[in-house]
């Protein structure tokens, strides 16, 4: 997960073709949890919650983020450390596994 569209773009460029990108987060230039996980060497552990998180992002809702790691640069939009009640949330653990957890 994460990176397939970049690979499609690379292949299309090499072949002189036009890539076909159908991922909603990519089409809307929105935060993509799978790409975030890949870029940060994390393992996405729950695809269903990843889809729910992406749906919230596409709906313009903030997404809660917590991590036991300190010193992180500014979080990408729409991640926030203090999400409103009912917002989807995910966290990063010591095992470098990204664990998505529903709000509530």
% of the chain at pLDDT higher than 90: 9
Sheet holding 43-44, edge to edge: 43-44, 97-101, 89-92, 63-67, 79-80
pLDDT at 101 over 50: yes
Strands 63-67, 97-101: pairing is unpaired
pLDDT of residue 96: 47
Q: What is the pLDDT of residue 15?
A: 93
In the numeric block, which tokens belong to residue 45? 């552990």
Over residues 4-50, the pLDDT tens digits come to: 778 888 999 999 999 888 788 888 888 888 888 878 777 777 788 88
86-101: buried (b, 16+ CB within 10 Å) or exposed (e) per residue?
ebbbbebeeeeebbbe
Tell me: the pLDDT tens digits for 46-90? 788 888 888 888 998 888 877 766 555 667 777 777 777 877 777
Question: What is the pLDDT of the chain when averaged over all its residues?
Answer: 76
pTM: 0.64
């Amino acid at each position: 997960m994460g990176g397939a569209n970049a690979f499609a773009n690379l292949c299309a460029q090499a072949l002189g073709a036009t890539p076909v990108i159908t991922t909603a987060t990519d089409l809307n230039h929105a935060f993509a949890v799978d790409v975030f996980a890949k870029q940060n060497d994390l393992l996405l552990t729950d695809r269903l919650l990843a889809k729910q998180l992406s749906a919230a992002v596409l709906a313009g809702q903030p997404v809660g983020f917590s991590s036991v790691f300190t010193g992180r640069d500014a979080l990408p939009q729409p991640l926030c450390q203090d999400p409103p009640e009912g917002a989807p949330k995910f966290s990063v653990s010591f095992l470098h596994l990204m664990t998505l957890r529903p709000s509530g």
